[in-house]
Structure 1
Amino acid sequence: MKTIFTIIALILSLLLAGCVPSIYPSGAKTTAAHLDSGTQAFITEDGARLPLREWTTQGEPRAVIIAVHGFNDYSRFFDKPARYFSEHGIASFAYDQRGFGKAPKRGLWAGCASYEDDLLTLARLVKERYPRSPLFLLGESMGGAVVMTAVKNDTTDLIDGIILAAPALWARKTMPWYQNSLLWVLAHTTPWLRLTGKGVVKVTPSDNIEMLRELGSDPWVIKGARVETLYGLANLMDLAFNSADKLNEDTLLLYGEKDDIIPKQPTYAFLQRFLKDNHAAEEKTVAFYQQGYHMLLRDLQADKTWQDIAAWIDSRGARLPSGADKRAEIVLKPVLNSAN
Structure 2
Amino acid sequence: MSGMKADRVSYTEEFIYNSRGTRLFTCRWIPLRQDVKGLVFLCHGYGMECSRFMKGTGQRLSRAGYAVFGIDYEGHGRSEGRRCYIRSFDYLVDDCIVFFKNVRGENLHGIVISSSTLLDPIEWPEYRRKPCFLYGESMGGAVALLVQKKTPGEWNGAILVAPMCKISKNMKPHPLLIRVLVKLARTIPTWKVVPIKDVIGQAFKDPVKREEIRDNPYVYQGRPRLRTAVEMLYTSLNLECQLHEVKLPFLVLHGENDVVTDPAISQELYDSAGSLDKAIKIYPGMWHGLTSGEPDENIDMVFEDIVTWLDMRCPPGSLAASPIRFSDIQTRRAMLACSSPLRLEDAHTRQPGMVGSLRHRHLTGQTSEASSVPASPMRLFEFRKRDLASSPSVPASPMRDSERKCLRWMDHKGGDSCARGAARHDHASHRLPAVMIR
- Specify the TM-score bucket, using the shorter chain as the normaliser: 0.7 to 0.9
Deviations 1:5-28 (A, max 9, x none): xxxxxxxxxxxxxxxxxxxxxxxx
Whether the 8 Å contact between 1:174 and 1:266 is mirrored in structure 2 is no
Corresponding position of 2:129 = 132
Q: Which residue of 2 aligns with 1:32?
A: none
| Counterparts of residues 1-340 of structure 1 (less than 5 Å) | 40-58=14-32, 59-75=34-50, 76-105=52-81, 106-128=83-105, 129=124, 130-155=127-152, 157-171=153-167, 175-178=171-174, 181-189=176-184, 191-195=189-193, 197=195, 204-223=202-221, 224-274=223-273, 278=274, 280=275, 282-298=276-292, 299-300=294-295, 301-316=298-313, 317-318=363-364
What is the distance in 1 between the residues matched to 2:2 and 2:101? 15
C-alpha separation in 1, matches of 2:29 and 2:237: 32
* Deviation of 1:202 (Å): 9.6
Instruction: Please list the CA deviations of residues 263-284 of structure 1 after superposition, one character each: whole Å capped at 9, or x if unmatched.
Output: 244444444322xxx2x3x311
SS of the residue aligned with 1:138? strand
Distance of aligned partners of 1:166 and 1:199 in 2 relative to their CA distance in 1, 3 Å threshold:
closer
Alpha carbons of structure 1 residues 171 and 50: separation in structure 2 relative to 1, 3 Å: same
1:203–1:260 contact (8 Å) kept in structure 2: no
Q: Secondary structure at the match of 1:120?
A: helix
Task: Write the deviation string for residues 168-191 of structure 1: whole angstroms up to 9, x where unpaired.
Answer: 12338664443x543441342354
Deviations 1:294-314 (A, max 9, x none): 111112211211111111011
My pick for the range that moved more, 135-144 or 287-296, is: 287-296
- Deviation track 1:70-116 (CA, whole Å, cap 9, x = no partner) reads 01111132211211122121111111011211212222114122122
Q: How has the CA–CA distance of structure 1 residues 202 and 139 changed in structure 2, closer, same or farther, with 3 Å as cutoff? A: closer
The corresponding residue for 1:332 is none
Where structure 1 has 5 or more consecutive residues not aligned to the other structure, the ranges are 1-34, 320-340
By how many angstroms is 1:201 displaced? 7.5
Instruction: Give the TM-score normalised by the residue count of structure 2.
Output: 0.58
SS of 2:135's equivalent? strand
Whether the 8 Å CA contact 1:203–1:261 is kept in 2: the answer is no
How far does residue 39 in structure 1 lie from its aligned partner after superposition? Answer: 5.9
- Quickly say closer, same or farther: Cα 1:139–1:127, change in 2 above 3 A: same
Aligned partner of residue 309 in structure 2, secondary structure: helix
- Shift of residue 200, structure 1, vs aligned partner: 7.7
Answer yes or no: is the 8 Å Cα contact 1:260–1:294 preserved in 2.
yes
Cα distance between partner residues in 2 of 1:220 and 1:202 = 14
Q: Tell me how many residue pairs correspond in the alignment.
A: 278
Residues 199/46 of structure 1: CA separation in 2 closer, same or farther (3 Å cut): closer
Q: What code does the residue aligned with 2:160 have?
A: L
Decide whether the 8 Å contact of 2:158 with 2:248 is kept in 1: yes
Task: Compute the RMSD of aligned alpha carbons.
Answer: 2.7
Bigger mean CA offset, 55-64 vs 195-204: 195-204
Change (3 A) 1:114 1:200: closer
Question: Structure 1 residues 265, 252: CA separation in 2 closer, same or farther (over 3 Å shift)?
Answer: closer
TM-score of the superposition, structure 1-length normalised? 0.73
Q: Distance in 2 between matches of 1:131 and 1:284?
A: 25
2:38 alignment partner AA = A
SS at match of 1:56: strand
Cα drift, residue 286 of structure 1: 0.9
Tell me, which stretches of 5 or more residues in structure 2 are unaligned?
Answer: 4-11, 106-123, 314-362, 366-438
